[in-house]
Structure 1
Amino acid sequence: MKILVCIKQVPDMESRFRPNGDKTWYDESDLAFRMNEYDEYAVEQAVQLKEQLGGEPEITVLSIGPERTVEAIKKALAMGGDRAVHIRDDRYYQKDPWQIASMIASYAKGEGFDLIFTGMQSQDRGSAQVGVIVAELLGIACATTLVGFSYDGGTITAKRELEGGIKGVAKLKLPALVTCQLGLNTPRYPTLPNIMKAKKKEIASLTPAELSGEAELTATAAIYPPAKKGGGLVLEGEIGIQVDRLMGILKEKTAVLR
């Protein structure tokens, strides 16, 4: 069995974001980066499946992005991946989900992967489209938002989280692609010996031009931060006084709106 895990390096969500100079993405100069949280569940599930099958499957980790993306790739390898592919693209943020998925599918077509794991969505864009588009382009079965996974004799049983907290179950024959949701498992911390081993694992390097999925379909024209809003007003004092003040504020706002 051959397994592909697609990961993305994203900014730490506690970072302070501001637009870059040409307002097409955020300024990366002062940001810390990490592996996308949803992708950690995908890596962990792939490694658990490999352990279930006695270490027979080969796990390939794939990521698209600039040179710093290698750090996220190394973490995935330290978690249990066998080899990796880095599609070097400094303009990754200007591409839409279709373009990203096209590059992944272009690489995967010639590799004969039986099972592909991705995160449900990336934390910076949150489109939740890349995984399902990859499945469509490859013509394979797909199940999204997994919170439960089991494998038996070529069949995946996928427990999915649906709208309103409802759980659904889907069965898929290989080849297939699944996208992983929070709660699917508990991602492992890479141990020091595995971190050292990861340094010796192969990381193949490709460029978008080497893949047929590099078509320039769309480009981000500009991004805009949310409009700044004023702070809230806290009313203090006796209830009667608060009510009188609140009524006065509402009357004033109503008059302004009129």
Structure 2
Amino acid sequence: MKILVCIKQVPDMESRFKVAESGTWYDTTDLAWRMNEYDEYAVEQAVRLCEQEKDSDLTVLSIGPDKVKETMKKALAMGCSRGVHIVDHEAYSRQPYQKAAVIAEYARDKGFHIIFTGMQSQDQASAQVGILVAEMLGIPCVSTIVDFAYSDGKIEAKRELEGGMKARVTTTTPAVISCQLGLNTPRYPTLPNIMKAKKKELLAVSFEELLKVDPLQETIEMYIPEKKGGGMILEGEAGELANRLITILQEKTAVLK
């Protein structure tokens, strides 16, 4: 069984962010980097499937500059068989459509039975890439899964819907699966596996070599939202509070005028 898992390197969300001089992205100076949290669940589920299905082969793929290889090494230490680094020093400026097109182009003739992705990235949060990959490859996609089972070419998954509801769906392979938080508990790489990861194959491929589409959109400006004013707490008897509230609303808005 051939499996592909796609990951992204993102800044630690506890970092202090500021807009870069370009005005279209955040300043990456002095940021700490890690694997996108949603992708950790995808890697763990892919590794578990490999452990279930003997003689499986698991490839981890990431798009970005050279520093993403450090994050890829964590996926290799978690249990991925090899890595594919799609080299792109302008990855931050690429739109989801372009990234999905490159992943689909790479995967098209590789015969992957299942492609795992995170539901979304923590920095851009488009939640589009996995679904677009499936569309471009012409295969089913099950998104935002919180439960997963596989047997004899059939996938049974539980999807998280808006409002906290869940839906159980089934599909056959090949398919793309996007993983939601809480799907599993990602493992910590052990020291022996970290050492083994250093010897695993890490293939480099040029982004431009695989890119066959033009961007459909462009980021014009990025800015930090303005802080809103604080709230007001009223104390006293109900009748008095009602009159004070009406007065405040009349002063600040057109309400009741």
The equivalent of 2:12 in structure 1 is 12
Where 1:70 maps in the other structure, the secondary structure is helix
Q: Confirm or deny: 8 A CA contact 2:134 2:140 kept in the other structure.
A: yes
Where 2:196 maps in the other structure, the secondary structure is helix
The equivalent of 1:100 in structure 2 is 99
The equivalent of 2:225 in structure 1 is 226
Distance apart, 1:250 and its partner CA: 3.9
Q: Confirm or deny: 8 A CA contact 1:208 1:214 kept in the other structure.
A: no
Instruction: Tell me the distance in 2 between the aligned counterparts of 1:233 and 1:164.
Output: 30
Pair 1:91 & 2:86 matched: no
Instruction: Tell me the distance in 2 between the aligned counterparts of 1:15 and 1:49.
Output: 33
Distance apart, 1:235 and its partner CA: 5.8
Q: Confirm or deny: 8 A CA contact 1:6 1:63 kept in the other structure.
A: yes
After superposing on structure 2, the runs of 4+ consecutive aligned residues of structure 1 that deviate more than 6 Å are 255-258
Paired amino acid for 2:67: R
Pair 1:157 & 2:127 matched: no
The equivalent of 2:111 in structure 1 is 112
May I ask how many residue pairs the two structures share in their alignment? 256
**Residue-by-residue CA offset, 1:77-118 (whole Å, 9 max, x unaligned):** 111001011111121121211111001001101211111000
The equivalent of 1:172 in structure 2 is 171
Distance apart, 1:256 and its partner CA: 11
Instruction: Tell me the distance in 1 between the aligned counterparts of 2:196 and 2:156.
Output: 32
Paired amino acid for 1:128: A
**Residue-by-residue CA offset, 1:137-156 (whole Å, 9 max, x unaligned):** 11111111111111111111
Higher mean displacement: 150-159 or 203-212? 203-212
Q: Confirm or deny: 8 A CA contact 2:95 2:215 kept in the other structure.
A: no
Instruction: Tell me the distance in 2 between the aligned counterparts of 1:183 and 1:222.
Output: 33
Instruction: Tell me the distance in 1 between the aligned counterparts of 2:220 and 2:45.
Output: 37
Pair 1:36 & 2:36 matched: yes
RMSD of the alignment, in Å? 2.2
Instruction: Tell me the distance in 2 between the aligned counterparts of 1:214 and 1:189.
Output: 38
Instruction: Tell me the distance in 2 between the aligned counterparts of 1:248 and 1:32.
Output: 50
The equivalent of 1:201 in structure 2 is 200
Distance apart, 1:171 and its partner CA: 1.3
Paired amino acid for 1:143: V
**Residue-by-residue CA offset, 1:11-66 (whole Å, 9 max, x unaligned):** 11121211100101001103211111110010000110111123x11100001112
The equivalent of 1:139 in structure 2 is 138
Instruction: Tell me the distance in 1 between the aligned counterparts of 2:143 and 2:7.
Output: 16
Higher mean displacement: 206-215 or 78-87? 206-215
Q: Confirm or deny: 8 A CA contact 2:10 2:36 kept in the other structure.
A: yes
Where 1:22 maps in the other structure, the secondary structure is coil
Paired amino acid for 1:184: L
The equivalent of 2:72 in structure 1 is 73
Q: Confirm or deny: 8 A CA contact 2:250 2:256 kept in the other structure.
A: no
Higher mean displacement: 114-123 or 88-97? 88-97
Distance apart, 1:233 and its partner CA: 4.3
Gapped regions of structure 1 (runs ≥ 5): none
In structure 2, relative to structure 1, the CA distance for the partners of 1:63 and 1:37 (3 Å cut) is same
Paired amino acid for 2:156: T
Distance apart, 1:173 and its partner CA: 1.0
In structure 2, relative to structure 1, the CA distance for the partners of 1:179 and 1:248 (3 Å cut) is same
Distance apart, 1:202 and its partner CA: 1.1
Where 2:24 maps in the other structure, the secondary structure is coil
Identical pairs, percent: 61
TM superposition score normalised by structure 2:
0.91
Instruction: Tell me the distance in 1 between the aligned counterparts of 2:253 and 2:113.
Output: 62
The equivalent of 1:46 in structure 2 is 46
Q: Confirm or deny: 8 A CA contact 1:155 1:173 kept in the other structure.
A: yes
Paired amino acid for 2:26: Y
